A and B are shown apart, each in its own frame.
Chain A
Amino acid sequence: MMNTGALYTWRKSKNIAMLLLTGTSLLLVIGVLVLILTYTVSKGINYINWDLLTEMPKPVGESGGGMANAIVGSAILVALGSLYGIPVGLLAGVYLAQTERGWFARSVRFLTEVLNGIPSIVIGVVAFIVLVIPMQRFSALAGGFALGIIMIPLITRTTEEMIRLVPSSFREAGLALGLPRWKTTVSIILPAAFKGIFTGIFLSIARAIGETAPLLFTALGNRFWSTTLDQPIASMTVFIYDYARAPFDDWNQQAWAASFVLIVIVFALNLIFRLVTRKTYTA
């Protein structure tokens, strides 16, 4: 009797101890994450100003200046990536959603996962080999090529998932009306999944715009205004990287402000995705 009581107390206290431990790990993790977020945001808000968004970088040693060229450069790079990343990702996703079986679909699905897991710096190395070596110089094209590869697996996966979420009665209704399969897909299924697919593309843009590693030796960076595609081009992330390592306080502050801008963009795109997909499909 006593023994059972002791065992019971032991189990009870072990229970409390372990539950406390999970609670502690939650507090620790959330604490660290909230710290990073609030720190970056508050520092960034402190240092952000209109010049940062509209001015060009000043020569070394002078304070002030901004990253107007880097903002435009990032936009150009992402646009270049989207140019082939979106069609390839989208249509491959449509194919996978329609084709469940077979070794081909299975291996494409697997390689999409592989592509998603490849470190972005390795993708940069490939872009270097494919474009920088033959062209003999760093260029916006090579950077855009790298970003496109990064976008493809994300778009393919969300497209496939979003199409699969469309109820099969939609497909059956189309076929019952005598539509051929492709027309059912194009005029019924895709419009029904449009919101999810579209915001999935947002998500891949968010990922591409935050990438630094694949740009270091493809787009390289540029302290001057350049929109030429076969020349090195500036980007917000490389701007942050250079300014964070610079020995000037003023530059470091600009790095904080720039990463605030970056976080706002990335979070906005992510939130849109989450809100839209939840509204459409969890109901």
Chain B
Amino acid sequence: MNNKTDERAGQQDGSPAARSFSFRGLIRTNPGDFIFENVTRFFAFLVLALVFLMVYEMTVQSLPAIKEFGFGFITSSDWDPVNNLFGALPFIYGTLFSSLGALLLAVPLSVGVAIFLSELAPGWLEQPLSMLVELLAAIPSIVYGLFGIFVMIPWLQSDIQPFLMEEFGWMPLFEGAPYGFGMMAAILILTIMILPIITSISRDVMRSIPNSQREAALALGATRWESIRIVLTGSKSGILSAALLGLGRAVGETMAVTMVIGNSADISVSLLNPAHTMASVLANEFAEATSKLYVSSLIEIALLLFVMTLILNAIARAIVWRMTKRYSTAVA
């Protein structure tokens, strides 16, 4: 019925709008299209439902802990499963300390590598190097952990940490004993692990800056570095979002950190002391948690971790989307 009237309307006035409307009407009458579209839509809906299910389940399961400790869960540093006292502050502190420390080391290095790859490297070198960096992002975290335990820790223990204590022992940052296992090892392994992602996103962002900008700078007599500064200014927000994605990765990284951080629920400013992160306490204690409140507290930590990475990813995504929009409209 509808189609017929549409078609007639199209014939009568012949305006493009009317014709295209009737075309859409015709397509919709095909039952196959209707089924196909709704089947695929259903599966897309499943993805959406999955995320909501995750949030719902975690919230419900952490209710006992939320009711028992309230806001104090985040501010208390008592983690005492024997007496059923749970405060997540040591883990939140450890997560923030280790991932921000790793970010501090990784961003300058990654941007340096990205500059080299996008601005300086000759074509034959750029491809294999980029591929190497990307392959390294694919190495499972457990392998980094293995490397951490058997290569990095002995090295830290016998060479680096005694030296740091000797020279900088007066700083609170380097107080303690050279265990090897501890915050320093965690920061270093996280740095290595988030280098590839920050590098490859920064490189992509810099490459998206139009060549005319570089040429304009060079034509005005700028040195190579000054033209790179122009590129960097243009890709500032992209590099920021790369850093946020790297931070999100570091915050959620579990195995490698668990294997090298020493697992101790103490809050300390020293890089040498063993610590714990939210992810590592889950990996260590979840399977053995006995009391209901214990499990519930661990699930609340998982929920907090989820919210943290969600916020980081959302901000990073928003920046990327705004950037791509700006550039696509600039091109058009």
* Alpha-carbon distance A39/B254, docked complex (angstroms): 22
Report the interface size class on chain B.
35 or more
* Alpha-carbon distance A269/B146, docked complex (angstroms): 22
Chain A residues within an 8 Å CB radius of B61? 129, 133
Residues facing A in B222-247 (CB within 8 A) are 223-226, 228, 245
Check A18–B40 contact: CB distance below 8 A.
no
* B interface footprint on A204-220 (CB within 8 Å = 1, 0 otherwise): 00110011110011001
Chain A residues within an 8 Å CB radius of B170? none
* Alpha-carbon distance A185/B58, docked complex (angstroms): 38
Chain B residues within an 8 Å CB radius of A255? 146
Check B140–A262 contact: CB distance below 8 A.
yes
Check A95–B112 contact: CB distance below 8 A.
no
Given contacts A122-B252, A241-B255, are A21 and B36 in contact (CB under 8 A)?
Answer: no
* Alpha-carbon distance A152/B50, docked complex (angstroms): 10
Residue of B nearest to A97 (CB): B40
* Alpha-carbon distance A235/B93, docked complex (angstroms): 32
Residue with the highest number of chain A CB atoms closer than 10 Å, among B47, B131, B136:
B47
Query: Which of the residues B131, B249, B302 comes within 8 Å of A121, measured between beta carbons?
Result: B302
Residue with the highest number of chain B CB atoms closer than 10 Å, among A90, A104, A121, A217:
A121
Check B251–A119 contact: CB distance below 8 A.
yes
Chain A residues within an 8 Å CB radius of B310? 114, 117-118
Check A213–B255 contact: CB distance below 8 A.
yes
Q: For the complex, is A194 an interface residue (Cβ under 8 Å from B)? A: no
Check A244–B145 contact: CB distance below 8 A.
yes
* A interface footprint on B290-332 (CB within 8 Å = 1, 0 otherwise): 0000000011001001100110111001000000000000000
Q: For the complex, is B15 an interface residue (Cβ under 8 Å from A)? A: no
Instruction: List 22 contacting pairs A-B, 8 Å CB cutoff, sorted by A.
Output: A11-B223, A23-B116, A30-B133, A36-B192, A40-B143, A99-B41, A120-B252, A122-B302, A125-B302, A126-B57, A128-B286, A130-B57, A153-B47, A156-B47, A180-B30, A207-B138, A213-B283, A216-B283, A237-B142, A244-B142, A244-B259, A259-B140
Supply 13 further A-B pairs (C-beta < 8 A) apart from A217-B287, A245-B259. Answer: A12-B223, A25-B112, A29-B199, A33-B133, A96-B44, A115-B50, A115-B51, A119-B305, A121-B282, A126-B58, A182-B33, A210-B140, A256-B150
